[in-house]
Chains A and B, each alone.
Chain A
C-alpha cells in the first residue's frame, strides 16, 4: 500500500530531518487491511531514528501530537482504528508553543 507520511512541528527531527516520506507498506497477515495502530508501529520501527518517546507514548502518539489522515483529525475517523487506504496522506504534527 502506497502512503505519504509527513512529519512537522519538529517531529521531522526524529526522522533525520526528512519531512515527507513516500512509503510502501504491506498489511501483515495478509488480511489486506492496514489500520493506524499498525502504521504507528511501522513508523516507530522504520522511520523514527532517535528519541522514540518523543513520538509515541504507550501504543499511541505522545500528548501534543496531532494526527491527520487526509487533512482530517484522526479523532474524527476512529483514531487508532482508522482504516488506511491506497494513496492516503498521514500527517504527524507536534503542536507549537512559541511566539
Chain B
C-alpha cells in the first residue's frame, strides 16, 4: 500500500515537472513565432516559403500561404479577396478573455485579422473551464491573457497578438483603445460596459457588445453608422441588485459561446465592410426556448450625455469619470463583503467547528437557495432560503424545540436548555441579512458563520467542495 502511494506521488510529481517544462516551451515557441512574424512584416504579408517560380505576393497583396489558408473565405463571392484583405489590415481589441472573449478571440485569430489585442487582468480558474474554451487545464492559475494569446498564436501564427495584462481603467483605456479599429466588449460587469462604451464614443470606434447570463444572451453594435451608444439605451445605470453575475446566478457554458461567436462575426463584418452590422438592432437569445429574436432599438439620442449633440464629454471628462460610483458597483468582480452585524453576532467557521465538537446544542439554518443546498451542505443543516424565511419561521421554531427536547433527555441534570441558533450561506452575506431578520423577530442571540461555506472550506475542511 505504502509503495503504491509512493509510486503515484512520484508519477504526479513527474507530470507536474513535465507540464511546467511544456508550458515554458510553448511560451518560447509562441514568443518566437510572434518575433518571426514581426520580422517578416515589413517585407510582405506572409510567411514566404513560396517556390521561386511564383511571386511571394500577388498584386492584390495576399501571399500564397494566405491564399491557401483563407481559401474558403476567398471562395465566398460576397467576401472574397477584398474582404480578406480588409480583414488582414484591420485591428480588433477584445476586452475580457472569459466566456464571451474565448470564442470571439478564437474566431478572430483564425479568420486572419491583422492585429488582435486582448485585455484582462484575471487568472484562469478551474470553474472557468466549462465556458472559457480558449484556456486549457495547463494554464490554471496563470494569466488569462497569456493563455488566450498562446492559443491564438497556435491557431494562426501570422496574426499579431498583443497582450494587455492589466485591468481596464479610465487611466489606460484611451491609450489602449486608440491602437485598434474595432472594440469587442466581452466583460462581465456594468461599470466596465459604461466605461468601454464611453471610451469608444470619445475615440469614434465601433463597439461590438455581447452579454450572457444563465440561459440568455444579448448582442448589439454600438456607436456605429448613426446607431446608439450604450448610454443612449441605458442613460441611468440599473440598481446593483439587478446586476447578476455568472458566479452567483450560473451560466450554461455554450450560451456565452454562441454570443461570443456572434461578436466575432459582427467584428469581422465591420472590419471587412461586408453585410449589415447589428447596429440599431439587438439580438436576444433564449437558449431554453431555442429562440433568437432581433428587435429594433432607438437610434442615437440627441440628448445623450456622451454621444449627444451638445455633449461636452471628451477625453478629459472620460478620464475623470468615476464608473464605480456611477454604477454603484466595483470594476473588479470580487464578491461583495457585507458588514451588517455586530462582531458579537458572528462566529468564525473554526469557532463553529469547536462548538460542533463540544456537542453544543444548536440549530444550523442554511439560507441559500434550494438548488445551491443540493450541490453541497453541512450535515444536519436546515435549508430555509432567505427569500422564504419570513413565511417559514415556524420551521425554525420547531427545530429549536426539538433540539431542546433532545438536549434535555440527554443531560437530565442541570441543563439551562439554551439552544443556539446559527445561520450559514455561501459567502456570509445572506446569512447576515437572515440573522438581522431573526434578531428583529424574537431571536436576539442568533449568529451567522463568517465567510459562509467558503470560510468553512478555507478554515476547517479543505476537502469541502467550493463552487
Interfacial residues, chain A to chain B (CB-CB below 8 A)? 8-10, 19, 50, 53-54, 62-66, 68, 71-73, 75-76, 91, 93-99
Bound state CA distance, A54 and B33, in angstroms?
51
CB pair B211–A64 under 8 Å, yes or no, is no
B212 within 8 A of A: yes
Tell me the residues in window 276-304 of chain B with beta carbons closer than 8 Å to chain A beta carbons: 282, 284, 286, 289, 293-298
Q: Which 5 A-B pairs have the closest CB atoms?
A: A64-B238, A98-B213, A63-B236, A96-B211, A75-B298
A73 contacts across to B, CB distance below 8 A: 295-298
**Given A63-B236, A63-B239, A73-B296, is A99 in contact with B216 using a C-beta cutoff of 8 Å?**
no
Which residues of B are interface residues toward A (Cβ below 8 A)? 96, 98-101, 186-190, 193, 210-214, 216-218, 233-239, 241-246, 249, 251, 256, 282, 284, 286, 289, 293-298, 387
State the main secondary structure of chain B at its contact with A.
mixed
Alpha-carbon separation in the docked complex, A66 to B293 (Å): 14
Which residues from A are CB-within-8-Å of B234?
63-64, 95
Residues A99 and B256 in contact, CB atoms below 8 Å apart = yes
B283 to chain A, nearest CB (A): 11
Q: Contact between B213 and A96 (Cβ–Cβ < 8 Å)? A: yes
A54 & B241 in contact (Cβ 8 Å cutoff): yes
Q: Are A99 and B233 in contact (CB under 8 A)?
A: no
A71-B296, A95-B211, A99-B101 known; A66-B233 Cβ under 8 A: yes
Given contact pairs A8-B284, A95-B218, A99-B211, A66 touches B190 in the complex (Cβ within 8 A):
no
In the complex, the answer to whether A98 meets B245 with C-beta atoms within 8 Å is yes
- Select which of A50, A93, A95 is within 8 A of B238 by beta carbon: A95
Contact of B289 among A19, A63, A65, A66 (CB under 8 A): A19
A96 to B282, CA, bound (A): 12
A76 touches B217 (CB 8 A): no
Contact yes or no, B96 A99, CB < 8 A? yes
User: How many Å lie between the Cα of A10 and that of B214 in the bound state?
Assistant: 9
Asked whether A62 lies within 8 Å of B293 as measured between CB atoms, the reply is no
A98 touches B212 (CB 8 A): yes
Point out which of A8, A63, A72, A73 has the most chain B C-beta atoms below 10 A from its C-beta: A73
The contact sample of 5 A-B pairs, CB cut-off 8 A, is A72-B296, A76-B296, A91-B293, A97-B245, A99-B211
A71 near B216: Cβ-Cβ < 8 Å: no
Q: Are B298 and A98 in contact (CB under 8 A)?
A: no
B265 to chain A, nearest CB (A): 16
Q: Check A99/B242 contact, CB under 8 A, given A63-B236, A71-B293, A72-B295.
A: no
Rounded to whole angstroms, the CA-CA distance of A62 and B235 in the bound complex is 11
Q: A98 near B238 (CB under 8 angstroms)?
A: no
- The reply to whether B295 and A64 form a contact with Cβ atoms under 8 Å apart is no
Q: A9 contacts B239, CB within 8 Å?
A: no
Complex interface: chain B residues within 8 A of A9 (CB): 213, 216, 218
Contact residues in B for A75 (Cβ distance below 8 Å): 297-298
Bound-state Cα–Cα, A63 to B233, Å: 10
Distance from A9 Cβ to chain B, minimum over Cβ atoms (Å) = 6
- Across the interface, which residues of A come within 8 angstroms of B188, CB to CB? 97-99
Min CB distance B355 to A, Å, is: 35
Give the complex CA separation of A19 and B289 in angstroms: 10
- Nearest Cβ on chain B to A38's Cβ, whole angstroms: 22
- Using A10-B242, A64-B238 as known contacts, list a sample of 14 further A-B pairs with CB atoms less than 8 Å apart, ordered by residue number in A: A10-B244, A62-B238, A63-B235, A73-B298, A95-B238, A96-B212, A96-B213, A97-B188, A97-B190, A98-B251, A99-B96, A99-B98, A99-B210, A99-B256
Which chain B residues lie closer than 8 Å to A62 at the CB level? 238-239, 242
The docked-state distance in angstroms from the alpha carbon of A53 to that of B440 is: 23
Inter-chain contacts of A53 with B (CB < 8 A): 239
Determine the chain A residues whose CB is within 8 A of the CB of B218 once the complex forms.
9, 93, 95-96
| A74: nearest chain-B partner, CB-CB | B298
The smallest C-beta distance from A52 to any residue of chain B, in angstroms, reads 13
In the bound complex, CA of A94 to CA of B234 (Å) = 11
Shortest beta-carbon distance, B125 to chain A, in Å? 15
Residue in contact with A99 in the complex, picked from B238, B241, B246, B297, CB distance below 8 Å? B246
Tell me, in angstroms, the Cα distance from A66 to B216 when the chains sit together: 15
Nearest to B217 among chain A residues (CB) is A96
The distance from the CB of B297 to the nearest CB of chain A, in whole angstroms, is 4
CA–CA, A54 to B243, complex, Å?
11
- Interchain nearest-CB distance for A22 vs B (Å): 15
On whether the beta carbons of A63 and B238 are closer than 8 Å, the reply is yes
A88–B187 CA distance with the chains assembled, in angstroms: 35
Q: Determine the distance from Cα of A71 to Cα of B99 in the docked complex, in whole angstroms.
A: 27
With A19-B289, A64-B234 known to touch, is A71 a contact of B294 (CB < 8 Å)? yes
**Set of chain B residues within 8 Å of A98, measured between Cβ atoms:** 99, 188, 211-214, 244-246, 249, 251, 256
Chain A residues near B96 (CB-CB < 8 A) = 99
Q: Which of these, A50, A72, A76, A96, contacts B216 with CB under 8 Å?
A: A96
